[in-house]
Each structure stands twice: as C-alpha cells, then as structure tokens.
Structure 1
Amino acid sequence: MGKTTKLKNKLAVINSIQYLHILIYILLAGIMFLVMYSNVKPEVLHLEILHPSEQTIRSPLTIEDKIATKAKQDAAVKEVDDVFTLKSEYADNQVDLAISIFDSIDETNSEASDVYKSKVKEWESLTEEDRGEEPKPLSASEKLQMLKTKLPQDLTNRIPDDVFTALLTASPEQLSRTKDAVITAVNNVMNTRIPSSEVENAKNKVVEELRYSSVDTALREPMREMARFAVVQNVYYDVEATEEKRQQAIEAVEPVKILQGQIIVEEGQLITRDIYRQLELLGMTNTNNPIQPFIGLALILVLVIGALVYHFYNEIPTDRHRNIYLLIFAIIFTITILLMKGISLFQQIDYSDIGYIVPVAMGAMLIKLLINEKVAILSSMIFAVCGSIIFNQGVTGTLNFTAGIYFLFGCLAGVLFLSKHNRRGKILQAGLFVALINIVVIFSIMLLQNGSYSSLDYGSSIIMAVLSGVIAAVLTIGLLPFFEAGFNILSTMKLIELSNPNHPLLRKILTEAPGTYHHSVMVANLSESACEAIGANGLLARVASYYHDIGKTKRPHFFIENQMNIENPHDKIAPQLSKTIITAHATDGAETLRKFKMPKEIVDIAEQHHGTTLLKYFYHKAKQQSDREILESDFRYEGPKAQTKEASVIGIADSVEAAVRSLSNPTPQKIESLVNNIIADRLQDGQFDECNITLKELDIVAKTLCESLKGIFHSRIEYPAEATKQKVKEA
C-alpha cells in the first residue's frame, strides 16, 4: 500500500471520529488559557505598613474607593443644615382662636343679660306680697362658670381666671377694642418665623405691639395675657425635608475612584495605612490568586470558541471534511500563539515594543490559503485579542490595545492581499504589503500617542515591522507544503502549479489528443466563470477541466474532436462497443490521474462529470439496428453522479461546448436555447440529485455560460464553403 493511500486512510479515520471537533475546541481553549493566564493574573506585592515602598506602584485598573466615597458623603451630610418649615396656617389658626375666645365672652355676656332680664320680668309679674328681693345681674364668677362651659378645659387651664373675669366685666366697647388690638397684634407676630427658641421673644414682641393701644388701663394686662397666649411656635424641624436634602448632598458627591494607571505609592514613599488599604482594594496584597481574572479570561474564551464553532459549521460544508480543516486550524493557531508567547518573554529585557516583530500574519495567511477567507478574517480578530493580552507588560491594564490594533491590521492586510494573488511569489509580495501596513500603523500609533520619539525609536520600529511581514511570508511559504502533503490538501498554490501547461499530463493531452486539449481549455474558461458566479471554486473548476478528459488519450481517435481528415471509427463498429469505448474515458481518466497521484478533487471530477447520463446517439442507433429490446441503462455512463457544484458545472460546460461547436450558425438565440435545454435535460434526468446545487444557481450558470459563449462566437462569419458542411458529434 502506497504512502498516499495510507495517508488518505488516516485522514478518513480522523474525519470519521464523531466527537473529535469537540475535543479540538477544548484543546484550543486550554492552550489559549494556559498561554494567557499568566498575563491576566494580578501582580501580588509583598508590602509592609509604615515601610518605604521599593517601587512605584500604579493601579492596574479603575475601581471605586467606597470607603473614601463614604467619608466624603459623611462630610457632605454634616454640611447640610437642618430644615425648619414655617407653618403659615398657624397664624390664621391662632387669630381664629383669639376671635373664638372673644366671641365666647360676648356670647356669655349676652346669655347672662338674658338670664337677668328673664328674672326681672318674672319678678315684676309677681304681686308685691309675693315679690322678694329684686333680682341682680349675674356676678363675674357666675359668668366665668358659664364661659368655661363654652371653652376647652386645656385652654381655660392655661389662661388665668382673672383675665377672663376682667374681660367679662368690661364694657362692650372696651371689649371690642381689646379684641381688635389682640387680633391685630397676634396676626402681625404670627406671620413672622417663630422657632421654639424664639417663642418667648415673640410673646414679648406682641406685648410691644399692644403698648400704644387705646384700651383702658384695667384691661391692658388681660389684653397682654390674651395676646401672649395666642402667640405660639410656628417653625418646626422638618424630618423628611432634612433627610431629602441630606440624600441630595450624598448623591451630589462624585464617587472617589482609583484610576487605571494612577500612582498609588512612589518609590521610597512611606506606605501608610490608607495607601495599604488602597492596595488591598486593588487586590495587590492578596497572596491568594483571585478568581475574577480566571472568570474574565474564561468568558473571552467562550466567545472565541463560540465564534469558531459558528464559522466552521457555516463555512466548512460537511463534504469538505470539517474535522480535518478544524485540525489544520488548531495546528496553525497553536503555532502562531506559541510564537507570540515565546517572543513576548523578551519583554522582560525592558523592550516592550518587541511584539512588533511577531509574524502573526503568517497564521492568518495560512488559514486563508488552506481553509477560506472568512475563517482567516475571524482568526485575525482572535490573534489581535490574544496578542493584546500576551503583550501587556509595561502597559496599564490587561489589554495592550496598541499591540491588538497592530496585529489586527497586519493579519487583515495579509488575508485581503492574498485574495487575488496566490502564487508563491505573490506571498512574498503579500508579506511586503503586510510590512507596509505595519509601518503605517506604527507611525499612526506614535502620532496619536503624541510622544517624543528619537530616530532610533522610529528606526527600530520600522525594522521590526518589515521583518514581521517578511518572516510571515517566508514561514507561510515554508509551512504550506507540509500542510498540503500532511493533509492531502488541494490548495490554491497546488492548483496553480497543476495549471502549468508543462505538466506531463497536459503535455500528454496536447500531443496525443490536441482536439481534446482545445476542448478542455474551452470548458475550463466556461466552467471557471460559471463557478465564480455561484460562489463555487472557480480555480478548481478551471484546473479540473484541463484534466477531465485525460482518459481520451487512451483512444483519442474515437472522439470527434480528434478526428481530423480520418473516417469516424464508430461507423464500422457496433453501438454497444462504441458505448463501451466512450464511457471508458471517464474511468480511464480517473485511473490515470490516480497513478499520477493527482488530488482527489480532480480525480472525482474526471470520474463524475458525465454522471450517469445517456449516450443518446448510440442508444438510438442500437435500437434501429436491433430487433430485441434495448435498455437505456446499458447505454449510460457508470457514474457516480456529480457530488459537488464544480463537478456539476463542468459536466454542463462539457456538453454545452461540444453542442455549440456543432452548430453551423451559433446565434445568441440558438446558444441560449441549447444551454437551457441541456441543463433542463440533466435536471430532469436527476444528474444533480447528489450535489447541493440549487435551481437558482443553475439559472445563474445558464446565464453565465450564454454570456461567455456569445462572447466567443459573436464575430464568427459563416463562409459559403462552410455553409454546405455540418458536423455531427457522436460523443
């Protein structure tokens, strides 16, 4: 068993392992974690309180100092004055109270008068013999008792009886003057702010208000007592308003933050208790490894692996051996990230810009060449994230955004430049393009940082940027053959090599079957444009078209394109034999390609491009020559049917090119009708059942082929001598 067969068997085993992709994802996550954990683990310092610091220590992150914030808030609360609220309604209440007392006095006097009059009237109605002593008006004490029944007890307890007595015995005019004076004075004083500490002063003030009243001397003291009684506190401590004001003061305090990069303690400075507390808050004195960096890195890895799973599931179809491509990615990724980690160790020699020399674009370019562009772009982003973490020494925080941007632009430059230039020489050009982008990015970063850089700084950065691009290209060229050979990969580089006209098999076709060679070139042109139009591999279609009819070199003269000035040998043999010879070119071609160790994709297309189509010409010829029943299955290609879009398109282009070539006057209408009929016939025959080409894509293929054929045949002129000729293709 040859080495190639053994390799294919091993790859088949790898691809058949059901849960291999899960294991690869776990290994990738583990490798990334091990490589980057040392870069995210917080630095632990051995410090002692009240001892000088041996180094200048900066904060690795931005964090709120809650203790300092609380102290600042407490100080703000102390500055807030208590809120005292003026009860403005108290003025009206106390005036109303004074009015009510005087009204009660008036009412009492009126009732006392009515009682007296009633007694007098009753006395006068009696005879002189029955009359006793003449009734007298109610005494002051009796009036006082009547008054107390009209007023609340707590009020009568606080006002002396002699005040009420004096007012009860006053004339109505004097009582009215007293009432007006008291109400006016109370109203004036109660409309000022009277806190508890100023009540006595307010009472004295109301007495001053009454000094110039026209009340009789006998009523002055009762008047003053009534006024003093009516004056009360009208300003009270407002708990809710005070608390609200304090809360506003607390909310107005900006949180005290220790900023990332802020100097906590300078070299030689004494470590005070407050400084040590800040270092504790930052986790820089904790000898136990904190769990937060572990969780943060784990979350990043979850995002990275999730993105990889999504892209590989959607971008790598199952028939392209997803496990194999994932394993290739894992190897390239591991090589790249270990290279980054190894070079990062030189940061310890106090040269933080050493990361500029890392040829990280190598990984992105290899992934672009061996897998596809979308996965390469995703990889560029992942390399940028990993690089920003790995090269974080000497920067504030966990991420070195400068390194991340540098790696991202370098990788993307390599990926995008290789999208159209894929030869080995072009890879070197891509490396130079990466170097150019690296230089531009470095200059941009230096200008944005607005720092003072010497000529040596600029020179060393440029040298490392150039070396990064060149080394990336050299490593890509050097590693590419190992991946191609180790995983039996048909890369773009390999396809371009196989398209060289000096390849032994292509020279064999050209010398032994020149008509077939020309036909193959035409099919290559048609199939490449059609495949590119539907998003298939146009280069694979072109190269496979060159080799798809290699089997015709075994019996070249039995195929119409190689019959120049000779009789058609099929005219002299049975249609069954013709069928055997014609259909054999597919299997013969596949066998020849296998002997030359050609890539499996090209071998498969040579074997599948006819599928199980019917040789209609020989089938109908056999039916005409035989009386017995002729089965269609006896005149069909052995297959298998096309398994890929490229094989389907090449099969269509093969039939279309031969059919159009047989037309005497290939007008655009004829070409379009012919192309549509061939595709419809193959579709109805089930030739596309085993590949993932869609009806919409078949429509695009038809339009693309028509445009290409119209461009080839639009200027063809039919000469009179040609008008009498018509070629009929048997195969």
Structure 2
Amino acid sequence: MNFQSYINKIRSFISYKVFTSLIYLILAALVLFILYHNVKPETYEVNSLSIAEKTIRSPRTVVDELKTAEAKELAAEEVGKAYVYKKEMGQNRVSLIASIFDFVEETNREITKSSQEIDPSDVNKIESVLAIENRLKVLKSKLNENISEDVTKSISNETLITLLNADQTNLQKMREVVITQVEATMAEKIREEDIDNAKNRLEDSITEIGLSSAVEKAAAELGKYAVVANDLYDPELTEERRKQAMEEVEPIRILQGQIIVQEGHFIDKEIYRQLEMLGLLKSNPSSKPLFGVALFVLLTIGTIYFTFVRLGFSNEKKQNYLLLTSLIFMISLVIMQIIKMMEDTNINGIAFIIPAAVAPMLIKILINERFALIMTIILSACGSIVFSDGISGAIDIEIALYILFSGLASILFIPRRNERSHILKAGLFVAIINILVILFLILVGGGQFSTAEYIYYFIYAIVSGLLSSVLTIGLLPFLEAGFGILSTMRLIELSNPNHPLLKKLLTETPGTYHHSVMVANLAESACEAIGANGLLARVGCYYHDVGKTKRPPFFIENQVNIENPHDRLPPETSKDIIIAHATDGARELRKHKLPKEIVDIAEQHHGTSLLKYFYYKAKEKNPDVLEKDFRYPGPKPQTREAAIISLADSVEAAVRSMANPTQEEIRSLVNKIVQDKLQDNQFDECDLTLKELKIVTEGFCETLNGIFHSRIEYPDFKQQKVITDGAST
C-alpha cells in the first residue's frame, strides 16, 4: 500500500475540512518548533548575590525601562521653575498710583467747593466740612468705589491724611517722585521672593531725594504698595519644560552582545535585575521570542492557506498538494537545521552550501510556478531565522537573499518539459547565480577575504546548485509515486515506446498502435491550441485503447486479411466485446500502476456514446431493443483533455475509413461528429466551451488535411516509355 492509499484511508474516516485543518495545525506546530529552537535565548541557573560561573552577554538590544525612567525623573527634577515676565504690570501699578493722587486732588476740590457753598457765618459747619476725618472718609469712599484693589486697607490712614493735607506743590512733587521710582523699580524682573528687597530699594531711593519727613514716609508707603512681583511662576510652562526634558532623555539600552556579568564576578541585585529583564534566567525565561515566531508562523501558514484556496483544483487534489507542500517544506527546514549544526562547528561560510533550490524546483515541477515563487519567499524568510545568530543579529539577511535568488533562478531556468538533463542544467545556472549573490554580499559588506576563502565560498555555491539538482531528481520519483502526481517528467517517461504496455500494444495490435499515434497527434495540437495539457493528451492517447489487446481481431484496425468476426456474432455479443475495451483498458492500466489521469482517459474516452451500428443491427431483429443497452457505461469526459481525445478518436477513425477524402469532405465529417457529440450531451461534465470546441474543430481539420492531402499520381515508368517510343515512330 503506497502513501496515497493511506491518505485515502484517512479521508474515509474524517471530512475534508477536518483533515485539511489537521494538516495546517501539524505543519504550524512543526515549523514553530524548528524555528523557535533557533531564536530561543539561552538561559542560566544563577542566583542573586552569587558568583557568575560564566560570562553572560545580552542576546539582543533592549531598553532598560527602569533606568530610563530614573533618568527621565532626574532630568525633570533638574528643570527649574518657569517664570513669565509681565512687563505690563509696571504700567498698571504706575496707573494705580496716579489714580490715587487724582482721587486725592478730586476730594480736596470737592471739599473746598462744598465749604464755599455754606453760609460764611456758619463757621462751625465750614470747619466740619473741612475736617480731615470727613475728607479721609470721602477719599476712602472714592477709592473703594473706583479701584478694584482694597487700597484703603493696604495704605495707612496716616499716608492718606498726609496726601490730603499736602499743598498742591508738595502733592505734585510727591506724585512725580513715587511714579518715577515705581516705574524704575517695576522695570526690573521681580519674583515673589524678591519683593521685599525691591521695596527696600525703592524706599532707599525715595529717602535719598530729601523730602520732608511726613511726605517721605507717605511717598515710601505708596511706592512700596505699588511694587509687586512681575516675574511670575508659570506651573503649565514648568510642566511643559519638564516633559520636554524627559522626552529628550535617550533611552538607556542594554546592547546586543554587551557583557552583563563576567565569569567570576559578583552578581549584585542590579545585574540580577538585568538578567531577569532579558529573560536569561531559567526561573523566568522570556516569552517574547516565542510570540514573535508564532506570529511569523501564523503569517506563513496564512499565506499557504490563501494560496491553496485560490488554486483551481478539486478538493482532493488541493489536499494532496497541501500534503506534498508540507512535506517538501519540512524537508527543506530539516536540511537547513542540519547545515546550521554544521555552522556551529565554526566552518566559515558553510551555510552557503544549503541546497536552496530543491523546494522551488520540486514545487514548480509537481504543482505550478506561481506557488513555487511563494514558497521561495517563505523559505528565504525561514532561512533568515534558522541561521540567525544570537549575538550578531536575530535575522540573517544575507542567507535570506541567498536562498531567495537561488530559488528564483531555479524556477526561471527549468523549462516546461522538465527532463532530467534540464534539471541538471538548471542546477548549473543556479550555481552561477549563487556565486554572483555571494560576490554581491562580499563586496557590499566590504569584508577582507583571502584567496582560499573566496575559493571555499565559490565551491559552496557550486555544490549548492548541483546538490539541488541531484536531490530534486532523487526525490521526484518518490513524491510522484507517493502522491499520485502526474508531472511533465513522468509523462515524458510514460511516452517512451519501450514501456511494457506500449510494446504490447505495438506487437499485438499494430493497427491500434498506429491509430493511437494518429489520435495523439490530433489531440495534442488541439489541446495546445486552447491552452490545455497537450502532453497529457498525447500520452493519454497512447494508452487509451490498451484494452483492445485483450481481443485484437474484434477491432477493425487490426483485421488485416482476416474475416470480420462480428459478422458471425449477434449484435449484443459484439456490443459487449467492443464496450469492454474501455473497462479492460482501465483495469490493465491500474494493474500497471499508471497515473489516475491516464486511467480516466481510457475509461472516459467514449463517454456514454451509442454503438449505432450494432444498435440498429439489433433493432432490425428486435424492435423493442433498448438504446441504453448499447451505450458505453461512461463516465462522460470529465476534463478538456479527455473530451478532446474522445473527439479525436472518433474523427481519426471516421476519416481513415474514407477513400481519398477532400478538404471539404473532411471538414463536413468533422463538423458532423462534433455536432453528434454535442447533441448526445457527451461534454456536459467537462469545462470545454463552444469557443474552444470551434478552435479544436479547426485544428482537427488542419491536421487531417495535412495527413490525408491528395497526391499526384505518377504514371508507370515502363508505360511512359511505350508512349514515348510510339510517339517517336
């Protein structure tokens, strides 16, 4: 029992969706296991406040969040309070002092006017109006009503009385002195803590002017009252500057390869914290690499899934291809892992020996080119992880580029007809591309290498290309047989005339063999004209009538100089013999383990068509005979190739039975056969369109016209001589 048989057995127990899901899950788990093994950081059994048994380095660059936060806090603390200088406050305070003097003058004027309006004989009343208490009360009332500040509580009554009692000259001088000194003092930046010093300086300045004692005291008090802080603390600006200072702090990093602790050194709490943060402790390993690889695997499996969803194949074929791809994928990863182990032995550049083109070659040959391109990209990404270095870099870009270009070269250089010699040639081209990629990496990196190292690298590149070809050729037969895949190479092998069945066909039924070759010529050209698989059609034609080897004389192309045995048989018996050749042929092909596609062609090439000759012959004897009893059991052609072979088989046999057919007769006969097949619904189960059918018909006519073209009939040489001699005499 081969691999395909086991798969079919599993399919009989579980549904397509469940089986496919299991394949994806198993593939994802295996890929995750292999890739994580290469990025998992090494962990150590260490304790705080102990001695390090070996030197430990950081496997990657990380930001020390704790140290960075401390540095930011320190930077914020170093930022002083932010102050904003309010220059306009000086003018406001000057205006306030001027307003006080204005109200003093206004009060004195009003009081004087009121006293003049009283009867001069009423001395007591005049004295009451002019009394200082009354004037002070009026002044305070005006100040409270017109000034928002509580001036009357801040400026003493003595000062206000001094202002009210001063004559106009002293009042004006006092005004000028106070305003001048307030302007000068407020022109400077004054913070809250400097207000007392500013007031003292203003008082000293007024004292130096030489005013009278009472006036000087009042002027000093007014000036000191006017002096306020004009360089004010701004909490919002302070906070903004703190944030800016914190943002300007560069993150404190532990660099990749940096020594955390040296062998024999003491592991203090800070070092232990760094080891814990890096996930280097066995008691607290980091889970980030696992999640990272899991995301990569999710992307990879997702890409494969959506690619298969869009493949235009049946579910069974998709599942086979998925299993095949998974197997090739895992083989490639295992090969990468083996070479990675060789790289760990410090063999310089050994990674370049990887046979990167194996998977792309196999997938292109066995599935298609588009999927081979996708898998090349996926494998290059996987290679960058497998060959990653825990110290110098998590991802190896160089090996990723090497695998990518090697795989692309193999896809481009393998032609459609993948013979073994073509695969070997493709391997040589891949080797050349490998050398060019290595040169590119060396020159861009600017490294200095010796001649011997260059030679080693080039040898690795050549071995990589040739090894890819050898492994492809070696694995191909096993994969084709195990998964029942019919590749171009397999078709070419089956077309070899030395195949036992073809030799049997040639020796036992030469007429059938010749007929099969003629049908193959017709079918191949017609298939290629509509984009179908011409090689499959040709090989299928070679084997489609193998069932006739069981009873050769009963088929007209093998009846040479013998009586037709059907003349002595009842039509029912003849019908059974003729119909049996399709099922006998399929049985014989299965016995020789030929691909399913070839077996299907042998079984379907007559579909459910009617054996008209024997049906009407039987009907002459028995009018009640059923038409269905004289039809092939089918199934009808399921593919375009099988449908075209069905037509080619009928057309070739019909045209061959005509004597010296003309082009018009051939075209008329071909069109009639095509119409009969259509009306008999023989193409209902395949995706052959009417447009394609028209192209196929034209192709048949052209090919048949070339085979059965009319020939010039030359007269016999001896007869020509007699005629000539007679004419001369």
Percent of pairs with identical residues? 47
Matches of 2:473 and 2:159, distance apart in 1:
118
Question: Post-superposition shift, 1:602?
Answer: 1.4
Look up the equivalent residue of 1:649 and give its one-letter code. I
Matches of 2:264 and 2:674, distance apart in 1:
85
Q: Which residue of 1 aligns with 2:542?
A: 546
Greater mean deviation of Cα atoms: 76-85 or 46-55? 46-55
Question: Post-superposition shift, 1:657?
Answer: 4.7
Correspondent of 1:161 among 136, 140, 157? 157
Q: Which residue of 2 aligns with 1:138?
A: 130
Q: Which residue of 2 aligns with 1:425?
A: 421
User: Does the 8 Å contact 2:174/2:215 carry over to 1?
Assistant: yes
The 1:679/1:57 distance shift into structure 2, 3 A limit, reads: farther
Residue ranges of structure 1 left out of the alignment (5+ in a row): 124-130, 723-731
Q: Which residue of 2 aligns with 1:150?
A: 142
Question: Post-superposition shift, 1:452?
Answer: 1.2
Aligned CA RMSD, in angstroms, stands at 4.3
User: Does the 8 Å contact 1:280/1:286 carry over to 2?
Assistant: no
Q: Which residue of 1 aligns with 2:721?
A: none
State the secondary structure of the residue aligned to 1:459. Answer: helix
Matches of 2:262 and 2:445, distance apart in 1:
24
User: Does the 8 Å contact 1:675/1:706 carry over to 2?
Assistant: no
Greater mean deviation of Cα atoms: 6-15 or 30-39? 6-15
The 1:522/1:172 distance shift into structure 2, 3 A limit, reads: farther
Matches within 5 A, 1:374-393: 374-393=370-389
Q: Which residue of 1 aligns with 2:395?
A: 399
Greater mean deviation of Cα atoms: 614-623 or 487-496? 614-623
The 1:248/1:439 distance shift into structure 2, 3 A limit, reads: same
Q: Which residue of 1 aligns with 2:632?
A: 637
Cα deviations by residue, 1:655-683 (Å, 9 ceiling, x for unpaired): 4555676694436x985x87777556545
State the secondary structure of the residue aligned to 1:315. Answer: coil
The 1:323/1:241 distance shift into structure 2, 3 A limit, reads: closer
State the secondary structure of the residue aligned to 1:236. Answer: strand
Look up the equivalent residue of 1:637 and give its one-letter code. Y
User: Does the 8 Å contact 1:61/1:259 carry over to 2?
Assistant: yes
Correspondent of 1:340 among 315, 336, 341? 336
Correspondent of 1:456 among 423, 444, 452? 452
- Count of residue pairs the alignment pairs up: 704
The 1:618/1:225 distance shift into structure 2, 3 A limit, reads: same
Q: Which residue of 1 aligns with 2:34?
A: 35
Correspondent of 1:447 among 443, 449, 464? 443
Q: Does 1:283 align with 2:282?
A: no
Look up the equivalent residue of 1:120 and give its one-letter code. D
Matches of 2:397 and 2:262, distance apart in 1:
26
Matches of 1:418 and 1:499, distance apart in 2:
20
Q: Which residue of 1 aligns with 2:725?
A: none
Question: Post-superposition shift, 1:69?
Answer: 2.4
Q: Which residue of 2 aligns with 1:65?
A: 64
Q: Which residue of 1 aligns with 2:586?
A: 590
User: Does the 8 Å contact 1:8/1:488 carry over to 2?
Assistant: yes
Correspondent of 1:239 among 231, 235, 240? 235
Question: Post-superposition shift, 1:233?
Answer: 1.7
The 1:608/1:717 distance shift into structure 2, 3 A limit, reads: closer
Q: Which residue of 1 aligns with 2:292?
A: 296
Q: Which residue of 2 aligns with 1:649?
A: 644
Matches of 2:4 and 2:214, distance apart in 1:
131
Question: Post-superposition shift, 1:635?
Answer: 3.7
Look up the equivalent residue of 1:100 and give its one-letter code. S
Greater mean deviation of Cα atoms: 20-29 or 204-213? 204-213
User: Does the 8 Å contact 2:529/2:695 carry over to 1?
Assistant: no
Q: Does 1:82 align with 2:81?
A: yes
Question: Post-superposition shift, 1:505?
Answer: 3.3
Q: Does 1:112 align with 2:115?
A: no
Correspondent of 2:433 among 437, 445, 456? 437
State the secondary structure of the residue aligned to 1:650. Answer: helix
The 1:435/1:597 distance shift into structure 2, 3 A limit, reads: same
Question: Post-superposition shift, 1:612?
Answer: 0.7
Q: Which residue of 1 aligns with 2:724?
A: none
Q: Does 1:666 align with 2:663?
A: yes
The 1:275/1:627 distance shift into structure 2, 3 A limit, reads: closer
Question: Post-superposition shift, 1:170?
Answer: 3.0
Cα deviations by residue, 1:590-610 (Å, 9 ceiling, x for unpaired): 344345443332122111011
Matches within 5 A, 1:451-490: 451-490=447-486
Q: Which residue of 1 aligns with 2:608?
A: 612
Q: Which residue of 2 aligns with 1:25?
A: 24
Matches of 1:392 and 1:594, distance apart in 2:
49
State the secondary structure of the residue aligned to 2:59. Answer: coil
Residue ranges of structure 2 left out of the alignment (5+ in a row): 715-729
Cα deviations by residue, 1:219-255 (Å, 9 ceiling, x for unpaired): 4553443233222222211111111111112222232
Matches within 5 A, 1:698-713: 699-700=691-692, 702-703=694-695, 706-707=698-699, 709-710=701-702, 713=705
Q: Which residue of 2 aligns with 1:727?
A: none
User: Does the 8 Å contact 2:54/2:262 carry over to 1?
Assistant: yes
Matches of 1:578 and 1:445, distance apart in 2:
74
Cα deviations by residue, 1:397-435 (Å, 9 ceiling, x for unpaired): 333333333333334444444452422333333333333
Matches of 1:604 and 1:13, distance apart in 2:
21
